[in-house]
Amino acid sequence: MPEIWLSRFGAACGLVLALSIGAPGVVEAFTGETTVTSFVVGLGTALGAPTLTGLYLHQQRRRSRDGGRFATLAYAVNLLGLCLFAGVAFALNLVLFFVTEEVAEEVMSGPTLGAVLGAMVLFLTGSVMFGIDMVRAGVFPRIAALGYAVMLPLLALLAPVPDSPVISAVHVLAGAVLFGLSATVWRDPRQPVPHDGGAARSAAGAAR
């Protein structure tokens, strides 16, 4: 089933994404930002969209009742924000990191700043919405779902801030949250769970 394959692919991407966020956080706690850690974080963001899609598909299969329009809207807003923020993270870690501070400030003082702020706001909003939907659905562990709604927005808010132990801790915690969520999808037995209505219809059919 293509949907199951996409979930598994998303889970694999999520596990790698978690490591690409958490591992640099551990290293940078001792060394500060380096070329290698910036490279890993910058490229790892490309895995965000398939990770989110895997989480969404798994949740839609496993939730006991339909999430309604909010579930779909939360996924859509989070996906758009994630795609935009991936571009921001790529630019910060693989472009601006390698230019002088004067050049970086000049770039960020123009229209780019507005685009970056807009991307961050959309990503923050979508992450909170999707995290709330995960809590409501009850498919994923509650702590991990709450962590998604808190730690991912913190990543966006702290992205422009100079490195510090706090930044490193946020990266490690965000990586742990994504690892836990993706591991849940990876351990999925691959069989869809019917909603209550589907189960009732199946039971009725068997009775006949």
Q: What is the pLDDT of residues 10-57, one digit of tens each?
A: 999 999 999 999 999 999 888 888 999 999 999 999 999 999 999 999
| 62 has pLDDT over 50 | yes
The percentage of the chain sitting over the pLDDT mark of 90, rounded to a whole number, equals 59
| 194 has pLDDT over 90 | no
Cα–Cα distance, 129 to 81 (Å, whole number): 11
CB-facing half-sphere around the CA of 195: CA atoms within 13 A: 10
Could you tell me which residue, 145 or 161, shows the higher pLDDT? 145
Which residue pairs, CB below 8 angstroms and at least 24 apart, start in 141-146?
Answer: 141/180, 141/184, 144/177, 144/180, 144/181, 144/184, 145/181
CA angle 91, 98, 33 (to 5 degrees): 85
Instruction: Work out the average pLDDT over 154-170.
Output: 86
C-alpha distances out from residue 171 to 24, 153, 159, 181, Å: 8, 11, 10, 15
Cα–Cα distance, 184 to 14 (Å, whole number): 11
pLDDT band at residue 206 under the 50/70/90 scheme? very low
pTM: 0.84
DSSP state of 99: S
Q: pLDDT of 73-110, one tens digit each? A: 999 999 999 999 999 999 988 998 888 888 888 888 87
**Residue 45 near residue 78, CB atoms below 8 Å:** no
| 118 has pLDDT over 80 | yes
Mean pLDDT computed over every residue of the chain: 87
